[in-house]
Amino acid sequence: MTIDARTEPVQALPLERLRERTSEKWREYDADVLPMFVAETDFPLAPAISSALHRAIDLGDTGYTASRNPLAGAYAEFAQRRYGWTVDPAMVRSTADVSLGIVEILRRITNRGDRVVVTPPVYPPFYDLIEEAGAVDERVPLLRTGTGWELDLDGIEAAFAAGARAFLLCNPHNPTGTVHSRESLAALARLAARFGVRVVSDEIHAPLTQPGVPFTPFLDAAPEAREIGFAVASASKAFNLAGLKCAVMVTAGERPGRIVRGMPVEVEWRTSQLGMLASVAALSPESDAWLDGLLMTLDQNRRLLADLLAEHLPGARYIAPDAGYLAWVDLTALGWGRNPAKRILRDAKVAFHFGPAFGEEGVGHVRVNFGCSPEVLREAMERVGTLVDS
C-alpha cells in the first residue's frame, strides 16, 4: 500500500473543542490534565461517516440492524483493497465490538479452566475477557529484539505441548505496535494445527498499519490458519467509532465458520444500527483518502515523539510502532518506580496508560496515545520533562 502524493494530513481538532466531548478520554480527568491514555483519537470524523450518520438521524433510521445489510461485503472489499486478502462475505458475522466477539468465540472453543495463551505486554482487557469466558490466561511474553518485538515461538510451542487450548493473538500488537511477519504467523498457525489449538486474532489496529509495512491477516498467513483461526476486527480504532458498537467476526474454514454460524442470533443483533452504517462508510473507498491522511499524521507524530523523548526524557527507550497511534515507552532508567504514569499524572498533569496493567513486562513503562495534534504531544512531553531531576 502506498499513499498518494496529493494526500493531506488529517488535522486534530483544537483542544478547546475536544474538551466539549463527553467520552471517556475527556471525562475521566479534570480539565487541567492532558489525556493521552485510552485509545480514542482527537480527529474529526471522516466525511463519509459524518454524512452517513447525519442521513440516518434525518431519516430516523435508528431501529434494529437488518440481518441483510452491507457490512460483510464492505469489510471483504476493504480487506481486498487494503491488505490484498480475499474474504468470503458469507464467512463474516457482526457483533457489538471486538471484545464481545472474542468472548463469544472463546466460550465456544474452550472449556472452563482451559488455558489461553497471551503474549504480554498486551492489551489489559485480554486478561478479563479470558476470565469472562471461563478460561485462564497463560502468559508467553513477546521477545524483545534489537529493533522491536516478536512472538516467542519456542515458548508458545511449550505452552501448547503442555495443554493450552487456545491462543489470543493481538495482530498488530497493542501496546508495542508490532506488525507480526507472515513467517511468524505462519509458524504460529502450523504449531496451533499440530497441537489442536484454536487461534483468535484481534485485528482491530490493522487499518492503521503504516505504508511500506505489510500487514498479514492471520487467516491468510498459511493454509493451516484457515481451519484453526478466527479473526475479529472493527473500524473503531482507525475511525474513532468505539461508541457506535460494531465489529466483525471472520472465518475462512468450515469448522470455525460453523462455530460462528452456530452462535445465538442475539450475538449478531447486538450490532448497533448506527455503528453498522458508520462502519460501512469507513470501509468504503470514499474514506480511503481520509485514512491515508490519518496515517500520514500518525507517521509524523511517531517521529516527533522520538525527538521529544530524546529532548525531554533522556534515558527513555522507545521504538516507533509500525501500526496504530499507541507508543510503548520504557521509563525504567528514570527511576520513577513500577508505575511511572502515577507520578506523571500527579505531578505533570498528563494521563498515560499505566504500564503494569499490560502485565509484569509493563513495569516501568507507560503507553502514550499520540493520536492528537503535534502541539498537544509537544506540551505533554514538556510537562513530563519538568519532572526529570526534580
pLDDT in tens, 346-376: 999 999 999 999 999 999 999 999 999 999 9
Helix (H, G, I), strand (E, B) or coil at 200: strand
pLDDT at 5: 63
pLDDT tens digits for range 165-195: 999 999 999 999 999 999 999 999 999 999 9
Average pLDDT rounded to a whole number, residues 322-337: 98
- Residue 217 pLDDT greater than 70, yes or no: yes
pLDDT at 7: 86
Q: Which three cell numbers stand for residue 210?
A: 503504516
Question: What secondary structure does DSSP assign to 133-190, as a single string?
Answer: TT-EEEE-PPEE-SSSEE--HHHHHHHHHTT--EEEEESS-TTT-----HHHHHHHHH
pLDDT tens digits for range 6-31: 789 999 999 999 999 999 999 999 99
- Residue 389 pLDDT greater than 90, yes or no: no
Q: Are 276 and 228 in contact (CB under 8 A)?
A: no
